[in-house]
Amino acid sequence: MKSNLILSSLKLLVKILTQMAVGNSVNIVSTKKEITTQEAGDILQVSRPYFIVYYVTTFFGANRLRFLS
């Protein structure tokens, strides 16, 4: 368990440093474990509808969008 946490932390640090190396900004946001789609959109500075489409296509595939219409 402890080694999984260390490995996950190291992978996250590499991703953060990689993004910073190419000139992208990185924000770390402390929040409660569960948030609403509106809160997620606010954190990412996008609209709620845009966030929902992004989330569904990213985690469930574009085919799932037709069920939301």
Local confidence pLDDT in tens for the 69 residues of the chain: 677 889 999 999 999 999 999 999 988 877 777 889 999 899 889 999 999 988 888 877 766 555 555
- What six digits make up the tokens of 41? 């959109």
pTM above 0.85, yes or no: no
- DSSP per position, 3-36: HHHHHHHHHHHHHHHHHHHTT---------SS--
8-42 in b/e burial notation, b at 16+ Cβ within 10 A? eeeeeeeeeeeeeeeeeeeeeeeeeeeeeeeebbe
